Structure formats: structure tokens, C-alpha cells
Chain A
Amino acid sequence: MDKIRGRVWKFGSNVDTDQIIPAEYLVTGDPKKLAGHAFEKVRPDFAKKVKKGDIIVGEENFGCGSSREHAPRALIGCGISCVIANSFARIFFRNSINIGLPLIECAVEATEGDILEIDFENGRILNTNSGREYRFKPLPDFLLDLLKAGGIVEYTKRKLASN
């Protein structure tokens, strides 16, 4: 996950988990099945048009609302490679890191369809359309290790093995 290049889906502030995956579909945890309903009520074309590697750019408080891990799972199922936002709701943040969906806290100016290049190691985002570059603070080591391990499941397996 050192470098990513992808196309932007632009969202605003307070994108809540009911928007990301409506409650009526919480009858499966399968990312692929959830993916088909992602943003169904607010962006009906999203699930059809999203491509593997695409990037979501939000503004403040992305992922607020319920603790449903189905939200980041649906995004993983859609092939989203990273979510960038000025700030994230905390349970969404935890869930995403824990299941291996990279998140970046950074105020990036981008419009729908722009192509971003993300360099995780050096904490840089380039908007290839505007030519502007943004810097972000990498995650704390503990969380980077979790992401690198592939999420909290692998981390837990290692811990159980060493106990």
C-alpha cells in the first residue's frame, strides 16, 4: 500500500453510515454483496460506476453515525483504495483501519473525476489535474503496524500465537 493512484469520488461533510450503507441491507457482512448498495439513497449511480482503485474524498466528520462495520466493508467491496477527509468519525476510523482500508486525514481540494496519487511512505498526495500537492501526517506507528499486518485480525493471531 505504499503508493496508490486513483480517480476521485467527491463527497461533502457529515457523510453518515446510513448513507454509505442503508440499514435495510445489514443482513449480510459480505463486502461484495454490500457493495451493490453503497450510497444507494444519495448517489444511486455510485455502485454501478465505481471502479477498483477509486478514491473517496470527503470533508468534515466522514463516516459519522452507527458503528456498522458494513460501511467500510461496503467500500472495500466496491474496490475503494483509500478515503481522504478533513476529519473522520471515530468508529468509522477504527473500523476502517482494523479491516485494512487506508484512511488519510487531510484537507484535499479535488473535484469528481480528478486523479490523485498518494505516497503513503512520504505522506504526500498529488492532484494530477490541478498539480497541487498536499502533505499529511502519517498514522501513529501502532496503527501503521496494524494496517501493514493487514488489519487487527492478523495482529490478534500473532498475539494469540505469542501468548
Chain B
Amino acid sequence: MYNGMTIAEKILAKKSGKKKVEPGEIIEAEVDYIMVNDVTGLPAFEVFENFNVAPLRDKIVLIPDHYVPNKDVPSAEQAKAMRIFAKKYNLPYYYEVGSSGVCHQHMIEKGFAAPGRLIVGADSHTCSYGALGAFSTGIGSTEAACAMALGNLWFRVPESQKFIIEGKTRKYVMGKDVILHIIGDIGVDGALYKSMEFYGSTVESFPLADRISIANMTVEAGAKAGIIPPDNTVYEYLKGRVIGEYEPVFADSTAEYIETFSYDAIEIPCTVAKPYLPSNIAPASELGDITIDQAYLGSCTNGRIEDLRIAAKILKGKKIHPNVRMIVVPASKEVYEQALEEGIIKVFLDANAYVSGPTCGACLGGYMGVLARGERCISSTNRNFIGRMGHKESEVYLANPAVVAASAITGRITDPGEVEHG
């Protein structure tokens, strides 16, 4: 009997010139774009120079974001290496500090990410572009260099899992809560080597921002890709942005999923992941008295304008708790500009939050918000591993932007419902 294909299988089949691919098969497929950042770029460039060929200029995207503006001399050298590489080969897609932002947000805003595309990036959260119906996945620096020379790369065709989320969400519940809930359910290796596909009325009603949070964190369940079938929300967003043409890809009705999970959105509360794993979840309202030293709003998971808007709504007219410093990092220049225009930055400043330009910054414990021993942070980012944002005895709790804002006001981890009429 002929079995149809999932979105992941269809894209990989198309890009490897095959009619059909099966999970487990190893194929070589043509990639549309290869992205590297300032951390993963340098090792890739060093490898690339072994090949003595010209790079595939139109496929390469270079975005410095992790340690820019540079935090020290070694990070300045890394960023410089990227600039030199871009100049040497006259690469069209190099984005200087100030013109871009966190790499994944930039890839989406500038129209690299689009339905049906196969995109690889030397950064694990490259899976974010699945929110637009692309197959995108994180790779290493060495293979990024090889792809820059060859234009293709090996892939093991993943098994696909189907996640169906239906119904209206509770107030303040966002895409972040949905994906934290799912990771809590299936575990940090619940999707290992697999592609997660998301369906249902909840996902369809989510704006792109929430869909990106969902796809972004699929790697936290071990997934190779996290894909949401594209629709009008995506097509509208891409108008005037997308580079070139694109062709949406959908699963066949006879596609085979190795597992199917169903969720009722109304049962998902504002969710927090406690240290030291994204799967270690609890409802924000049931955490008890967990005081915080820092509240961090930003990153490729939740640093978009929609995220800043909801946080500003909660913070408007209020002050950050005196024991807390709040750090707000818009994910891109575009987000920053929009927030300025809407008066959102002013709301943060009035509340005594520290607002910086776009960078990865403290999300990975890089700089600008690193935690001291014993400190605790509520964060809109995606990882709460040991030492992720600083000292090995510091703690990161992951949550959506509304929880981050509410907690910044009370000084302890707080469900936003608690502060709305305060």
C-alpha cells in the first residue's frame, strides 16, 4: 500500500530529488540557506579555507548576534573574522551589528525562512523556521563549511510525530506555555531525532510569534525539526519580505506518524520550567514563594514585538520590585523600532527596566545579565541548564513574557492573573 508523506518527508524528498523517502533513510539534499553566527562562524570559515573553492554566495547568511557588540577581545576577533570572510568572498547576506538582531528572528524577518524550504544553521534553534512551514535544523560548524562549498548535506530522514492542540487558550497563555507543556509531557528526549508537526485550532489561531516560540523549543525535546503547516497568517507575513519564490508543502492525508498526541488548550496554564531542565514544569500559580533577582525578557524564543507588548501591558504604570533587575532585549532592530514607536520602550524605562539593543547577551550566559552564585532569574528564554546564564549555582526558570513581567513586579514567580488588577 502506498503511504503518504509527512511535511518533513516531503521537503526532504523534494530537496534530494526523490519521489519518496522513508524514515531512517540517509539522503543528501540541497539546502536553500546556510546560516552561521559569530560563535559558530569562525570554526566554519577555518574549515572552509581547506577547500580552495568559491563559496555558494547566495546561500550563505552571516549574522553576528551571540557576543555582539563584542564583550571582550576574543569575541571581537571572532566577529572580525566573520566580517573578513564576508568581504573576501563578497557575500551579499552579511548583517552588521545594528542592522540585525538575534539570528533566528533576523532569518524570519528578512524573508529567508519560508514554506517548503530546507534551511540549515549552525545554531540549535534553527528549528524556529518550522513555524513558517520550512524544514530547518541545527548543524555544526564543520558541516556548515562543507555545505557552503557543496550546497548539500547528509540527512537522516526523521520519523514524524503529530501534536494536535485544540480549543481556546486561557488568558495569558501563549505558544511558550503550549511547548513547555508538551516538553513536560514527552520529556527532553521525547522527540529525539524526530520531526514534530503541530496541528489543531489552537495553533491555527496563534499569531506567528507564538508559532515561532513553539517551533523554536522543539529542539528542547530533542527534535530535529518542528513544523507547523503554513496558512494565511504566514503568507501575509511574508508579503514584501520573502526572498524569491516559495512553495508551501503539506502532509498527505495518508502520511504516517509514529505517535500522535492530543491536548486540550484550556487545560494548559501559564507554565514555568524549573531548573535544570525545560521538562521540569509546574503551573506558575502553584510555585509558592520563589523570589527572584532578575527578570529577563528577550531571545529568539520570546523577544518579538508581541512578547514586548504583553509584558508592557502588565508593567504599565507599575515599578519593578526593588529586589529585582529586569532586562529587556528586543530580538531585532525591527522589533526595537516598533517598540519605540508604540511607546513600549518608555513603559519599560518608566518601570525601571534596563533595555538593551538586540543581542543574545545573557540568554546563554554570555554577557549583559550574567547571574552570580545563588541568584535566580525568571526568563523568557529556552534553556535552564546548570550554569546556563552564569554561575553554576545560579538558577533559571523559564516562562512566557507575561509571567516574566508579573514576576518582575512582585519579586517572586507570579501568575500574571495575580497582578492584573493591582
Q: Report which A residues bind B (CB closer than 8 A).
A: 14, 16, 18-19, 22-24, 26-29, 41-42, 60-61, 64-70, 73, 87, 89-91, 94-95, 98-99, 140, 142-143, 146, 151-153, 155-157, 159-160
Contact = CB atoms under 8 A, between A and B. Distances in A.
B406 to A, nearest CB: 28
Interface of B: 26, 39-40, 42-43, 46-47, 50-51, 53, 66-67, 72, 74-75, 77-78, 121-124, 126, 138-143, 145-146, 149-150, 154, 188-189, 192-193, 219, 222, 224, 277, 364-366, 383, 385-388, 392
Contacts, number: 129
A67 B385 contact: no
Given A41-B392, A64-B188, A94-B140, A160 B224 contact: no
Contacts of B387: 18-19, 22, 41
23 contacts: A16-B386, A23-B365, A26-B66, A27-B77, A29-B46, A61-B192, A66-B124, A67-B138, A67-B139, A69-B40, A69-B43, A69-B122, A73-B43, A90-B224, A91-B124, A91-B138, A94-B143, A98-B146, A99-B140, A143-B26, A152-B143, A156-B150, A157-B51
Contact of A19 (B39, B47, B385): B385
A61 B188 contact: yes
B50 A95 contact: no
A159 B67 CA distance: 34
B392 A90 contact: no
Given A67-B126, A140-B26, 5 more contacts: A16-B385, A29-B42, A65-B124, A90-B222, A91-B138
Contacts of B188: 14, 61, 64
A87 B192 contact: yes
A19 B142 contact: no
Contacts of B386: 16, 18-19, 41-42
A18 B154 contact: no
Contacts of B224: 90
B150 A95 contact: no
B140 A160 contact: no
B9 to A, nearest CB: 17
A24 B362 CA distance: 11
B142 A23 contact: no
Given A27-B78, A140-B26, A89 B277 contact: no
Given A27-B78, A29-B46, A41-B392, A65 B150 contact: no
Contact of B277 (A14, A90, A94, A155): A14
B139 A94 contact: yes
Contact of A68 (B39, B67, B150): B39
B150 A159 contact: yes
Given A29-B141, A95-B140, A157 B50 contact: yes
Given A24-B366, A61-B222, A156 B149 contact: yes
Nearest to A93: B193
Given A61-B222, A66-B124, A69-B43, A153 B364 contact: no
B205 to A, nearest CB: 31
Contacts of A99: 140, 142
A99 B141 CA distance: 10
B192 A69 contact: no
A26 to B, nearest CB: 5
Contact of A22 (B43, B50, B66, B365): B365
Nearest to A66: B124
Contacts of A90: 192-193, 222, 224
Given A18-B388, A64-B188, A142-B26, A27 B72 contact: yes
A137 B53 CA distance: 37
A51 B66 CA distance: 32
Interface centre among B189, B224, B386 (most CB of A within 10 A): B189
A115 B179 CA distance: 42
A153 B192 contact: no
